[in-house]
């Protein structure tokens, strides 16, 4: 059976990805929580694709598994330079869970006239057997 790693420790993100992929047969799906002691990837890059691909390659090389990784961010009309590619890393505090981050974000947005926002997510799959 083929093993595919979804490179996240976030159970909410894992469930979301599995809603789309989990019905594929003959795959054993793993998350980073299934593989302890793997150092975190230090996200570096200038685009969602660059970060997601580098993250997938990093975890694939560490584990030997085909790996799916993502990068995402939120774009907010009221704050065009505050969010985007570094939404999670530069807004809030290190170690915040999803609900804490969301509460901080809602508190910031509730007084804005323009509350338009969109989320962008990029997924990349890396196969260590063919280096792509």
Overall size of the chain counted in residues: 132
79-118 b/e (C-beta count within 10 Å ≥ 16 → b): beeebebebbeebbeeeeeeeeeeeebeeeeeeeeeeeee
Instruction: For residue range 67-101, list pLDDT tens digits in order.
Output: 999 988 888 888 777 766 666 556 666 677 778 87
The fraction of the chain above a pLDDT of 90, given in percent, is 41
Nearest to 124 by CA among 48, 64, 11: 48
Q: Which residues are catalytic?
A: 71
Backbone Cα Rg of the chain: 16
Structural contact between residues 70 and 8, judged by C-beta atoms closer than 8 angstroms: yes
Which regions of the chain are under pLDDT 70? 83-94
């Amino acid at each position: 059976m083929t093993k595919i790693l979804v490179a996240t420790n976030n159970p909410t993100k894992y469930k979301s990805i599995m809603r789309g992929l989990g019905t594929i047969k003959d795959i054993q799906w793993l998350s980073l929580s299934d593989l302890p002691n793997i150092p975190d990837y230090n996200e570096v890059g200038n685009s969602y694709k660059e970060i997601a691909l580098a993250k997938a390659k990093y975890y694939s090389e560490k584990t030997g598994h085909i790996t799916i990784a993502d990068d995402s961010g939120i774009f907010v009309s009221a704050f065009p330079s505050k969010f985007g590619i570094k939404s999670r890393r530069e807004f809030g505090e290190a170690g915040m869970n999803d609900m804490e981050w969301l509460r901080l974000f809602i508190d910031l947005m509730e007084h804005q006239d323009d509350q338009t926002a969109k989320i962008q997510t990029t997924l990349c799959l890396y196969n260590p057997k063919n280096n792509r």
